[in-house]
Structure 1
Amino acid sequence: MIAVRDSSNRCKNCPKDEESLDSSRPVPNITHHSIMYAPKCLVIVSRQDYIDTFRNCLGIIYTVWVENLGVPLETLVGNLLGCVLVPPPGGPQVRFSIGAGDRQALQPPAAPPMPVTHNAVYMLLRLLGIHNSVTLWCAVMSEHKVLLVSLAAARLSAACRALAALMFPFRYAHVYIPLLPAGLAEVLATPTPFLIGVHSSLKEEVSELLDVIVADLDVGSLHIPAGVNIPRPEGKLLSSLQDSLALVLQPELKSADSAFAPPPPSSSPPHMLDKEIRAVFMRTLAKLLQGYRHCLTIIRIHPSPVLTFHKAGFLGARGLSQCPFAVRLLDSMFFNGLVAERGPPWRPTDIWDELVQNLPEQLRLESLNPELELQHLQDLAMQLHLNENPNPQGVSTATYSQRVLRPPEGASARIHQPPLPPLDARRVRAVIDELAARNAANPK
């Protein structure tokens, strides 16, 4: 930020010689683009979780402004607010334009409580590796303070989203900030658990935190302070988790030592590897929580039923009394939320409920034929993929060619940038009202 001092605002009590000296100094004419700053910005705030669509819309608005394409910004904002109707869960794909010659598509997930990750989980495993990723997952599940560091804000946002998604069916219930502003660094001193991402420029400030687990996404390192103990699942469950991840990410390991090794199998595309990794973590939690519903008790003497969970009975029946990870998980806020949300018997079921019900039979078949494990993982991954890309009522899934305007290379480095004008709220409202009247006159 540049502060310019005006000579007319000089203090009246200053000595004359100092005043004359100050007035004799030449005032530089600052025009270089490297020290310019943008005094305005546009921010989209929404309850909808469509980050890619919002990014595209902001990019289109910026391109229209910087290239002076002749479309009023109020028209673009009004079209975005007034003509884009988000369908209900599992609804059809919506195709729209905000008025700049663009073509965009928006597809709601089939079940909103199910996380939407795209490639975020695969990116996390690729950056940190299997061991560090599993350790970080255990830290989040056991309510530790977790800090992610990277030079790229997009990586921080995706990694936080990935870690929260790997907790499914649990929901993260503590402080969750994918990108922490530099001015709020004191938040890291909070005594409560958190999942926060910070830019690498603040790495020196966070190095003094004694109880925070720091994962550097750019170098793939994980720093665990000496006084922090991260509980892990019991031996067999942990080894099964790591072996399944290796099976998904490195399928060539199965035949690497064969004398006549077959051609290496083709790996799944990144968006399917993402779902296969999520399937591995979901199955791990399903194995750990097998039979948890038998320990739920419904008390009906109150106006609304009260659900309680017999923790000691569950740990004793499963032989997990000496497993710190299981004990810590059952004491967490995540598990209390799971009981309140999924405890009632009369409720809609989803992929998690089907997995818990079918897992014992799947494990029995896998004990007879280990080759079935990968097949079961891929079947579960396909269900997760269809949740993100549903095809209701037989709608064609043909690829829709989207058109998103992009500024030419080097546009942001131009010396003479057109000033971003303030938006006229009345013109935006007029566009929204016109669209509403048109839709009322021509209902679909």
Structure 2
Amino acid sequence: MEGNRKFGYCRRLLPAGKGPRLPEVTCLISPLGCFSLYEKILDNIEERRQVSTTAVFTFLKAIVANPFPKPGRSVQVRAFSARGGEMETVTFTRPLDSRLEHVDFSILFSTLPPRKIIQLFSSMLMERRVILCSSNLSLLTGCAHALLALLYPFEWQHVFIPVLPGALIEFCCSPLPYLMGMHPSLIPALDEMETMEEALVVDLDKKKFVKKIGDETSILPSKLFQYLEHTLGSPAVTSEYQKPSGKKSSTSRADEIITNTFMIFFVYLYGDYRQYMKKKADGSIEFAKKEYEKKFSSKSIRRVSDLAFYIEHKCSHHSQLE
């Protein structure tokens, strides 16, 4: 296994007709995270499925015959209309950056208080093992994707399994960093595993930590922690997520505040990282970690120097390319 991440886009529907019928599920597998584009494809599939399976397969063949659009570009697909026998042109556009397009921060921030979210965020920066538990599938996957989005513009490079089946619970024994989701009925099984001491387990239904290492509030310097907690707990965020779902905009002011808050956080820590990328005699690039640590006056920020792996392993690669 190469460890490449793949995305599954699913749509469950009841075929047209009378009498008892079994629901069907359409699942599209792709290495690309383009939620809006694949959602539109599923919309077209569902529309044609109400006519016949032949209409679906004809449409899929037309899509496969076209190259996948590059970021920011569109592709036009000619296919028979679902409403009749005439040909129609359907346009599919791929966003320039689709990493945040599917994220609903309201799910996460309506479930956990800012303080707990920051502790989860800090643990993920330290590349630890994190397990989310919920009996609600939408809540579980929504919170998992929202947590990953907090790392933007960085990406979680490790194991990510939004919903782990009970039969695969032994995956939790992996020493590698991961973010996994599971049903809370599996929590007792985690207690029996010897290697779970250094994992953060969160019960989203009960809004509490089931297991934690104990240093989650001290990973970030106190001033940065307080900045995040104050901003994320402001009325501009909390009041927006208390609105009825029908009154929320697709991209709310609260979403912008959350995204910008974490962007400012990363800029403060890593905005000048290029100054600390030193070229060695052999031409390779090295991150000057000690020089980087000296720029901070607070001793507590030294803990964040461990986060330099984010720079050393992810940013140095880009510098070499340049």
State the one-letter code of the partner of 2:251.
H
Asked whether 1:169 is paired with 2:145, we answer no
Residue aligning to 2:64: 81
Following the alignment from structure 1 to structure 2, what is the Cα–Cα distance between the partners of residues 118 and 128?
20
Structure number with the higher strand fraction is 2
State the one-letter code of the partner of 1:311.
K
Please say if residues 62 and 77 of structure 2, whose CA atoms lie closer than 8 Å, have aligned partners that are also in contact.
no
Please say if residues 315 and 321 of structure 1, whose CA atoms lie closer than 8 Å, have aligned partners that are also in contact.
no
Following the alignment from structure 2 to structure 1, what is the Cα–Cα distance between the partners of residues 271 and 38?
40
- Cα deviation code 1:211-244 (max 9, x no counterpart): 321223334333333x443243212121111122
Residue aligning to 2:73: 91
Residue aligning to 1:128: 112
Measured on the aligned residues, the alpha-carbon RMSD in Å equals 3.5
Residue aligning to 2:251: 271
Following the alignment from structure 2 to structure 1, what is the Cα–Cα distance between the partners of residues 77 and 64?
15
Alignment of 1:308-387 (within 5 A): 308-323=286-301, 325-330=303-308, 332=309, 334-343=310-319, 347=322
Task: Indicate the percent of aligned positions where both proteins have the same amino acid.
Answer: 21
Following the alignment from structure 1 to structure 2, what is the Cα–Cα distance between the partners of residues 48 and 161?
15
State the one-letter code of the partner of 1:100.
A
Asked whether 1:249 is paired with 2:237, we answer yes
Residue aligning to 2:27: 43
Report the secondary structure of 1:271's partner residue: coil
Alignment of 1:9-408 (within 5 A): 43-55=27-39, 57-58=41-42, 61=45, 67=50, 69=52, 71-83=54-66, 85-92=67-74, 99-101=81-83, 106-111=92-97, 115-208=99-192, 209-225=196-212, 227-230=213-216, 231-247=218-234, 248-250=236-238, 269=249, 271-272=251-252, 273-299=254-280, 301-302=281-282, 305-323=283-301, 325-330=303-308, 332=309, 334-343=310-319, 347=322
Residue correspondences, number: 287
- Cα deviation code 1:94-140 (max 9, x no counterpart): 6876753499764322246xx22444233212221211111110111
Aligned-pair distance for 1:210?
Answer: 3.4
State the one-letter code of the partner of 1:318.
F
Following the alignment from structure 1 to structure 2, what is the Cα–Cα distance between the partners of residues 251 and 58?
33
State the one-letter code of the partner of 1:184.
L
State the one-letter code of the partner of 1:285.
F
Please say if residues 149 and 215 of structure 1, whose CA atoms lie closer than 8 Å, have aligned partners that are also in contact.
yes
Report the secondary structure of 2:261's partner residue: helix
Please say if residues 74 and 91 of structure 2, whose CA atoms lie closer than 8 Å, have aligned partners that are also in contact.
no
Report the secondary structure of 1:244's partner residue: helix
Does the C-alpha gap of structure 1 residues 135 and 104 become closer, same or farther in structure 2, counting only changes over 3 Å?
A: farther
Question: TM-score with structure 2 length normalisation?
Answer: 0.74
Following the alignment from structure 2 to structure 1, what is the Cα–Cα distance between the partners of residues 78 and 111?
35
State the one-letter code of the partner of 1:190.
S
Aligned-pair distance for 1:58?
Answer: 4.7
Which runs of 5 or more structure 1 residues have no equivalent in the other structure? 1-32, 253-266, 348-444
State the one-letter code of the partner of 2:228.
L
Larger radius of gyration: 1
- Cα deviation code 1:153-206 (max 9, x no counterpart): 343333222222211232212222122233211100112221111234434433
Which runs of 5 or more structure 2 residues have no equivalent in the other structure? 1-19, 241-246
Does the C-alpha gap of structure 1 residues 192 and 279 become closer, same or farther in structure 2, counting only changes over 3 Å?
A: same
Structure with the larger RCO, 1 or 2 (CA within 8 Å, 6+ apart):
1
State the one-letter code of the partner of 2:121.
W
Following the alignment from structure 2 to structure 1, what is the Cα–Cα distance between the partners of residues 39 and 72?
23
